Structure 1
C-alpha cells in the first residue's frame, strides 16, 4: 500500500474520488465541446470511487489512522486552506481577475497536499501535490493567452490527477482489503 494505514488509504481513495467529481464538474463551466463526454465520464468514475471506498471506509472505521493525536493540526490545515482559497478569490474578484479563481483554488489545494502527506504519513499525497503544482505552473502561459476562465484546463488537471491517484490507491488497496 501507499501508507501503512488502511483506513486512511480507503478514505483518501473515497475523498479523491469525490473531489474528482467536483473538479471535473468545475471544468464543465467552459470546456471545449469535445471534452464534455470525457469530463462527464471521469466525474461518474470519481463518484463511483467515492461511493465504493466511502462504504469501505465506514466498514473499517475502527482501524488505526495516522491522524490519531493530530486531528487539531488537520483542522488548522483545513482552516488555513479555506482562508487562503477564499481570501485569494475575494481579492481576485475585487481586482477584476475572477477568471483566475479556479487556478488559485487549485494551487492552494495542491499546496495543502504537502503537509497533508506528512500528517497522513503518506509521501504519495505530497508527490501528488507536487505533480499538480508543476502542472498548474505549466498551464500559466497557456492561460494568459486566452480570456476564457481557467476552470476548464485547471479542472481537467486537478480532476484527472485526483482520479488517477484514487484509481492507483484503489488498485493497491483492494487486494489488502480483500485479504483482511
Structure 2
C-alpha cells in the first residue's frame, strides 16, 4: 500500500469522485435492471469521496509522498493524460464515433494510472489501472455481443474499478495506520 495515510485518503477521495462520474455516465441509456446498481455505485462513490476528503483534510499536515519532484512528475503525467483524452475524443467525434469517446477516455485513464502508481509509490494503484484498462478494452466487444449501450458497459466497468480503489484506499487509511 502507500506509506502515508494522507495519500491513501486522498486516493479514496479522488477515486470516489471520478467513480461517481463514471457511474453517472453509465446512466445515459442503461438497461432498466442496471439502474439501481449504477445508483448504488454512484452513492458509494460519493460517500467514499466525502469520507476520503474529510480524512485528507484532517491529516493534511501529516506526511505525503508529494514533494517538488513528485508533484512536477505527477502534473506531467496528468497533463499528458488530459491531452491524449482530449485529442482522442476530438478525433472520435470528428470521425462520427462519438459512442466510443467514453471508452477512449477510460482507456487513457486506466493506462495513466500505471505511471501514477510508480510515482506515488502506491502499488495497489497498479491493480486499479489494470482493471480500468481491461474494462475499457472489453466495453465495446461486450456491448456489441449483448446489444447494450457502450457507455453503460464502459461506465459500469471503470466506475466499479474506481469504486474498488476508493473503498480499499479508504479502508487502508482508516484501519491500516
Preserved contact between residue 38 and residue 156 of structure 2 (Cα < 8 Å): yes
TM-score under structure 1 length normalisation: 0.91
**Distance of 1:118 and 1:157 partners within structure 2:** 23
| Count of aligned pairs | 176
Tell me how far 1:145 sits from its aligned partner: 4.5
Distance change >3 Å, CA 146–CA 41, structure 1 → 2: closer
Task: Give structure 2 stretches of 5+ with no counterpart.
Answer: none
Following superposition, the deviation at residue 169 of structure 1 comes to 1.8
What CA RMSD, in Å, does the superposition of the two structures yield over aligned residues? 1.6
Q: Give the structure-2-normalised TM-score.
A: 0.93
Does the aligned pair in 2 maintain the 1:101–1:150 contact within 8 Å?
no
Call closer, same or farther: CA 1:93–1:147 in 2, change over 3 Å.
farther
Which ranges in structure 1 are unaligned for 5 or more consecutive residues?
A: none
Partner deviation per Cα, 1:66-100 (whole Å, 9 max, x = no partner): 12122111111111111100100000011111110
Is structure 2 residue 123 aligned with structure 1 residue 109?
Answer: no
**Contact 2:8/2:172 (<8 A) preserved:** no
Q: Structure 1 stretch 50-59 or stretch 162-171: which is displaced more?
A: 162-171
> Cα gap change, 1:146/1:102 in structure 2, threshold over 3 Å: closer, same or farther?
farther
Contact 2:109 2:132 in 1 (8 A): no
